[in-house]
Chain A
Amino acid sequence: MATNKRGVAGWLDPLHLNIERWAYVFQRVTGLAVLAYVLGHIGDTSFFVGGPFGEGPSPSSWSSDLSVTENAFGHVVLVMVVLVVVYHGINGIRLILSEYGMIFAKPSRPDYPYKAKSLRTVQKHLIWVAIIAAILAALYTGGTLFG
């Protein structure tokens, strides 16, 4: 028999599904993006500024390192970093609260037409809070960098 498991593609396909599933996909993607940024940042600051492959720690080496982001592409990258970090952080708090069962009503008898209680509580509002906060933070960052 064919296994019919979609693998990682099964994680990343939220089409026709609920907003929590979209939030799940974004959480995974932004998590990887934040991880890539953090690794790059640590590598950048340790290896190139003061590490074994750099010229050693000094104000000039730090300034030259910072200059890498002092262009339009670098600014766009920084705006994207702010976007994904803010979304990932706020949505992560929502997930922590969910796992503690703190933002759900008690289970009750379902009434037709069925709408799952867990998908109607404050957790749904928190998804929108994460999205709006991330956009506002990115706009502010973009305004600061490009303004």
Chain B
Amino acid sequence: MADELALRIQRFDPSMEERPHLERYAIPLKDGMTVLDALIYAKDTLDHGIAMRFSCRMASCGSCGMKINGRPRLACETQLKDLRSSTVTVQPMDNFPIVRDLVVDLESFFSKHRSVSPHLVRKGDEKEQESPTGEYLMTPQELDSLVQFTYCIKCGLCSSSCPTGSTDSLFPGPQALAQEFRYLQDPRDEAREERLDLVDTEHGVWRCHFAGTCSAVCPKGVDPALGIQLLKRHVMAARSPFRRRRERKGAKVFPNPNEDLLRKD
């Protein structure tokens, strides 16, 4: 490994400049150095004006998402030696407005997350919804089927890598859709129809064409592409004419297998 790294950082102040440009910084290499370490060195010693966002430095907070050598990654968990290159280029995540340099505005990302009601919905009793009087249980198998989606740290890497997001601003994105699947999958949630209606729209789940990049870049092992495809399956099953016919006959098409476990007043 060379003793020095050429770190190219995209610099851009939208209020002052028309287009971004790359600036090159020479970083002395150390064993175990991450891209975030290199950025912090550059900011501390070479150019205090570099705008970047980071916090926990251990892939928990999701603040340091950026494009590193063309691929969305967390800077804190990307080892420089793993990149196998003496030149590393860092750019802000795609699909989000640039505030400055490597900092992007995630407001639309979080509002899309909020739009899918990322919480359990219990119908009929508002008081119980806000202040539950007991536990709502699920089996370990049911937990296994959704727990990976709860590991999302909302770093935005999946949505920045999504090709649909590069042209469709109304597409909720893989993060929000994966969360929708997580709550749809939860046997304690009672908003199934509302959730399906929310994603079965022109800009909803059908805009995903399974490029799989969201799952490939997720740093926490979440598989949004899988969640979205299974979400499509739920929508198609719910809209099936066979289902409606069975419903008319009074059959319970999606019975909750754990109804006995759920708390009842």
Query: Which stretch from B33-41, B98-106, B121-129, B188-196 is at the chain A interface?
Result: B98-106
Asked if A116 contacts B147 (CB within 8 A), the reply is no
Contacts of B14 in A (CB 8 A): 1-2
Does B90 touch A at the CB level, under 8 Å?
A: no
**Is A16 within 8 A of B213, CB to CB?**
no
Least CB separation from A28: chain B residue: B209
Cβ of B187 to closest chain A Cβ, rounded Å: 14
Chain B residues with CB under 8 Å of A112's CB are 221
In this complex, what residue of A is CB-closest to B169? A5
Digitize A5-38: 1 where CB-to-B-CB distance is under 8 Å, 0 elsewhere. Answer: 1111111000111101101100100000000000
Judged by a CB distance under 8 angstroms, whether A66 is at the interface is no
Contacts of A99 in B (CB 8 A): 210, 229, 232-233, 236
Query: Given A1-B14, A99-B229, are A7 and B70 also a contact pair (CB < 8 Å)?
Result: no
The proximity string for B residues 44-86 relative to A, scoring 1 for CB distances below 8 Å and 0 otherwise, is 0000000000000000000000000111000000000000000
Residue count of chain B within 8 Å CB distance of chain A: 52
Report yes or no: A1 in contact with B105, Cβ–Cβ below 8 A. Answer: yes
Tell me if B230 is interfacial: C-beta within 8 Å of chain A: yes
Question: Is A110 within 8 A of B221, CB to CB?
Answer: yes
Residues of B within 8 A of A15 (CB): 70
Contacts A5-B95, A110-B222; A104 near B230 (Cβ below 8 A): yes
Question: Are A107 and B213 in contact, CB atoms less than 8 angstroms apart?
Answer: no
| Beta-carbon contact of A118 and B69 below 8 Å | no
Given contacts A2-B98, A4-B104, contact A16 B210 (CB under 8 A): no
**Interface size classification for chain A:** 35 or more
Q: Are B163 and A1 in contact (CB under 8 A)?
A: no
Question: How far in angstroms is the closest Cβ of chain A from B234?
Answer: 8
The one of B105, B145, B165, B218 in contact with A108, judged by C-beta atoms closer than 8 angstroms, is: B145
Residues of A within 8 A of B167 (CB): 5, 7-8, 10-11
From B161, B165, B221, B226, give the contact of A104 (CB < 8 A). Answer: B226
CB pair A6 B148 closer than 8 Å: no
- Which chain A residues border B243 with CB–CB below 8 Å? none
A98 lies within 8 A of B149 (CB): no
Closest chain A CB from B201 CB (angstroms): 16
Q: Is B137 an interface residue (CB 8 A)?
A: no
CA distance A137 to B73 in the complex (A): 39
Q: Would you call B98 and A4 a contact (CB within 8 A)? A: yes
If the complex has contacts A101-B229, A117-B226, are A20 and B95 also in contact, measured as CB distance less than 8 A?
no
Residues of A within 8 Å of B92, CB to CB, are 4
**In the bound complex, how far is the Cα of B212 from the Cα of A95, in angstroms?**
11
Bound CA–CA A108/B227 (angstroms): 11
Do A107 and B227 form a contact, CB below 8 Å, given A10-B163, A11-B163? Answer: yes
> Could you tell me if B229 and A104 are in contact, using CB atoms closer than 8 angstroms?
yes
CB pair A110 B213 closer than 8 Å? no
Q: Please, which residues of chain A bring their CB within 8 A of the CB of B151?
A: 110
User: CB distance B229 to A109 under 8 Å?
Assistant: no
> CB distance B218 to A116 under 8 Å?
yes
How long is the Cα–Cα vector from A112 to B151 in the complex, in angstroms?
13
Tell me the complex Cα distance, A21–B166, Å.
14
Q: Mind listing 9 A-B residue pairs with CB under 8 Å?
A: A1-B14, A2-B20, A10-B166, A11-B167, A17-B217, A24-B209, A98-B210, A107-B185, A116-B216
Contacts from A to B (Cβ < 8 Å): 1-11, 15-18, 20-21, 23-24, 27, 95, 98-101, 104, 106-112, 114, 116-119
